[in-house]
A and B are shown apart, each in its own frame.
Chain A
Amino acid sequence: MKKLVTLSSLLVISAALAASPADTLVIQSAADVPTMDPGVTYDTSSSALVDNMYETLLTYDGASLTKLVPQLATKWTVSNGGKTYTFDLRKGVKFHSGATMTCADAEYTIERNLVTNSGASGNWFIAESLTGSQSNAADDKSITWAKIDKSVECNNAGQLVFTLPAVDPAFLAKLAYTGQAIVEKAYSAKIGEWDGTEATWKDWIGKDLTGSNLSKQPNGTGPYRLVRADANNHLFQAFDGYWGEKPSIKNVIRQKVPELAARQQALLRGDADIIEGGGRSVDEAQIKGKPGVTWVDGLPNTTSTAIFMNEKIQGKGNSLLGSGKLDGKGIPANFFSDVNVRRGFSYAFDYDGYIKDVQKGQGMQRTMLMPDSFPGYDPKVKKYTFDPAKATEYFKRAWGGQVWKNGFTLTANYRANSVGAQTAMEILKKNIESLNPKFRVNIQSKQWSEMLADSKKGEEAMILIGWAPDYADADNFMYTFYASDGYYSPRANWKDASVDKWLKQARSTVNVAERNRLYSLIGNRAYEQAPFILVPAPVNYTFQSSRLSGAPITKAGFNPMTSLNWKDLSKK
């Protein structure tokens, strides 16, 4: 198969035979588009379309991850000790329906998100800021209509006012998230969505908007409007009534093409401008350097991945524990609670080898479990290195010498079909087992759905999982990984009182310097305690037809937090 694909690529004649028209951008992807309703958009393929049809109050300034600029707002002020945000809204903004955007639309949008706030949506983090709870009214009885209604209101001057129960330094970044894109109240109600009134709000609590009428008939203020969506195509046209600069690309077609070889051929023949690739090794071998293709490498990566060492493995008779004792045939449930074990494992992972072999040299070992491009990241925090001597030293200390004397058998799971996760686990297994013939690490693949459930219950001994950002703020990563009540806590069961205190302090101040100081403290503490093995982060890359140009597809203009803005592209 691989040979055939390579052969087909070699057979391709010059891509100078550009087939797609110059005013039309052609995107081919294997992924489906689950929804076009911003209220439930929480995946990259949906965001890629929604971000071009809809707009948020503010957005990231070019490639910056820290500077937010107005979009549907023109300015904002912060008052009441950081708990009140007042937004002036842009005048003369038109929806694709032809209606003019008003403050009522913005208020309706946020309220709709707070009312529905389904499990599939990303509304939990805006809810946390505005109602003090991640849940909707069905799961948290403290969420009332009054609470939702008061949190976002239009004042007499037509300004949008947010009232937060507590300071949230990430609030503005959260508003820049796709899910908070503004929808039109009257239009939405007319096509059968919530009418925005207290009388009907209960009917919409927890409602999954994935297949909503708004998803089928989107209507935003963005530069592109949906013309038609059929089985495999989404067709867009530049919106004539757009308030901003007119896009140079008039038409956009997003096609679903599941077969990688077909997508590659379309790109190389000039029939497609942007395609979903097949991962770095495939793309480097079959696309990079081909005529008519521009390859942009060294782009920031905003995911963080770790190998978790669970200090309190749950589950009665959990088979991952083997004998459940330190007798060489298993591990006790609290095996990883000894810091020496964790350090031993941390020194046994070959970070450079992983970067070289798995990431083809395009990787970076981070100091903390957050993107190095985010504010709060401290490059000075110490890192573990691959050091078998030190690993041995710590294993000899672990559990009063019993680990070294008796050995252990540990079973670790990795996500099925994830080559990166499998390779990382194999590296760890090889290095651990080479330290002492009594050390045994069994690795096995597991379906993601099963891992989800078992890891949530704390029943996984050692797993590799990652996190991608919801919004560009350190808290989104640091709290998730390091807090004892963070989302990932059941997977590690690591609890450090100081770290918990620092995390809470960091999320309740808007003082950037203070937050950075606190995150450095957490980073250093995590290095000492080694709750996770930090898997090197891959370097991002992109490639597209050489006929395309524009800031978002350059190294200087690429922003990992935003979808590709078609309006900023041009095609020759």
Chain B
Amino acid sequence: MLNFTIRRLIQIPLVMLVLSVIVIGLTQLLSPEQRAAPYIRSEQQAARLEQIITERGLRDPFPVQYGRWFSNTIRGDLGFSKASGKDVIPTIQERLPNTIELTLVTALPILLLSIWLGTLSALHKDKLLDQILRVLVVFGYSLPTFVLGIVLLAVFYAYLGWLPGAGQLEIINQFAVGDLRRYTGMMSIDAALNGRWDIAWDALRHMILPAVTLMIVLSANLVKVMRNSMLEVLTSDYVRTARAKGLSSRVVNGKHARRNALLPIVTLGGFLVIGLLGGSIITETIFAYPGIGQWFVQSALQLDIAGVLGFTLLSALLVVVMSTAVDILYGVIDPRVRFH
């Protein structure tokens, strides 16, 4: 287990190195003029196109450009992200906790809901409840996130006025936040630790609509997988044996069947968390939620190479770390899995 973990950790810098070469290499497919375009917002600036290209070394050979980026990165300088108006590292420090906070609020409900509904669906196979759940799964699976987000915003914010609109906090609290001592970077937790329960509640209220959007869209696939996995387990020999021994349905389904049916959910759940930590691009954009997903989409749209690279490296780190965690968790759930 320890060797396996160490091997995985060693992979991180290698993965990042390869990724950085690929991303910077891909940018070289664009002409210097195209790479200079993001720095030009008007025809006035376009008049200085050549100067901008020269100043940024966009005509330098690829090894020179990569070397420049690499030497800066080694010194802890990932560059300036045009999309955020800040350096990459402070941008990640500012936005990643927001994304983690949204993940915390979203991931566990998604997993619990999916396990519960998937189990329910399997246990009532082909009955009305199963049919309803399957229709809902198809609905959730096929519904575009941006449509769902805008509908929820229109209904619960614009029409009913029950929940706040886009953003992270009410205006009045935006000004109060400056006085908070930050511990985690996560608004609701930091506000609670400062005794500002009003701000904590406000931050949580602002997360309801994005979280519900993500829950509806992301639960669908997991419910389907859980249902199929559960159906497979329910027809296995050991479940039949457990039933023959006279164990109650609750014990058979809950203790024996569901635990084994969870294995694919653990894998998918890991990817779900990786995806959420990587920033929910559409949801964060619709709800103006200041996570890294929103930053990435802005960086990509603006060809903000420093931003795209910073995000890519962060994502790579998250993937390696989370997939390692998932593999370890696998071993915990299923003792048959061994690491060599």
Please give the residue numbers on chain A whose beta carbons come within 8 Å of chain B beta carbons, in ascending order: 1, 4-5, 7-9, 11-13, 17, 19-21, 24, 26, 28, 32-36, 42-43, 118-120, 122, 124, 135, 139, 206, 208, 210-211, 215-216, 227-233, 235, 237, 251, 253, 255-259, 261-263, 265-266, 268-269, 271, 447-450, 452-453, 456, 465-468, 470, 487
Dominant SS among interface residues on chain B: helix
Supposing A5-B150, A33-B85, A450-B33 touch, asked if A266 and B166 sit within 8 A by C-beta, the answer is yes
B285 touches A208 (CB 8 A): no
B86 touches A8 (CB 8 A): no
Closest B residue to A236 by CB, please name it. Answer: B175
Shortest CB distance B195–A (Å): 20
Q: Which A residues touch B56, using CB under 8 A?
A: 208
> In the complex, A210→B55 CA distance in Å?
13
A265 touches B157 (CB 8 A): yes
Please tell me the size bucket of the interface on B: 35 or more
Which of B9-17, B43-51, B119-127, B211-219 is the interface stretch?
Answer: B43-51
Which among B45, B95, B168 is the interface contact of A42 at CB below 8 angstroms? B45
Shortest CB distance A257–B (Å): 4
Beyond A8-B153, A118-B51, A231-B94, 7 extra complex contacts between A and B, CB < 8 Å: A1-B146, A120-B48, A230-B177, A232-B167, A251-B175, A452-B33, A456-B46
Which among B49, B51, B161 is the interface contact of A453 at CB below 8 angstroms? B49
> In the complex, A9→B40 CA distance in Å?
34
Q: Which residues of chain B in 1-59 are interfacial with respect to chain A, using CB atoms and an 8 Å cutoff?
A: 30-31, 33-34, 36-37, 39-52, 54-56
Please give the residue numbers on chain B whose beta carbons come within 8 Å of chain A beta carbons, in ascending order: 30-31, 33-34, 36-37, 39-52, 54-56, 80, 82-87, 91, 94-95, 98, 146-147, 150-151, 153-155, 157-159, 161, 165-168, 171-172, 174-175, 177-178, 285-288, 290, 294-295, 298, 302
B157 touches A452 (CB 8 A): no
Supposing A35-B85, A216-B86, A452-B33 touch, asked if A258 and B294 sit within 8 A by C-beta, the answer is yes
B85 touches A21 (CB 8 A): no
| Interface pairs (7), CB distance under 8 Å | A11-B154, A12-B158, A21-B171, A43-B41, A230-B290, A262-B150, A466-B43
B33 touches A453 (CB 8 A): yes
Supposing A232-B290, A257-B288, A450-B33 touch, asked if A4 and B48 sit within 8 A by C-beta, the answer is no
A231 touches B150 (CB 8 A): no
A487 touches B47 (CB 8 A): yes
B34 touches A450 (CB 8 A): yes
A235 touches B285 (CB 8 A): no
Shortest CB distance B314–A (Å): 15
> In the complex, A327→B159 CA distance in Å?
63
A32 touches B85 (CB 8 A): yes
B153 touches A261 (CB 8 A): yes
Supposing A32-B84, A120-B48, A120-B52 touch, asked if A448 and B159 sit within 8 A by C-beta, the answer is no
Q: Which B residues touch A453, using CB under 8 A?
A: 31, 33-34, 49
Which among B84, B165, B178, B285 is the interface contact of A231 at CB below 8 angstroms? B84
Q: Which B residues touch A12, using CB under 8 A?
A: 158-159
B42 touches A468 (CB 8 A): yes
> In the complex, A17→B43 CA distance in Å?
42
Which among A8, A35, A450 is the interface contact of B154 at CB below 8 angstroms? A8
B43 touches A259 (CB 8 A): no
> In the complex, A36→B288 CA distance in Å?
21
Q: Which A residues touch B36, using CB under 8 A?
A: 449
Q: Which A residues touch B290, using CB under 8 A?
A: 230-232
B37 touches A449 (CB 8 A): yes
A208 touches B55 (CB 8 A): yes
B154 touches A4 (CB 8 A): yes
B288 touches A259 (CB 8 A): yes
Closest B residue to A271 by CB, please name it. Answer: B165
Which among A35, A118, A235 is the interface contact of B174 at CB below 8 angstroms? A235
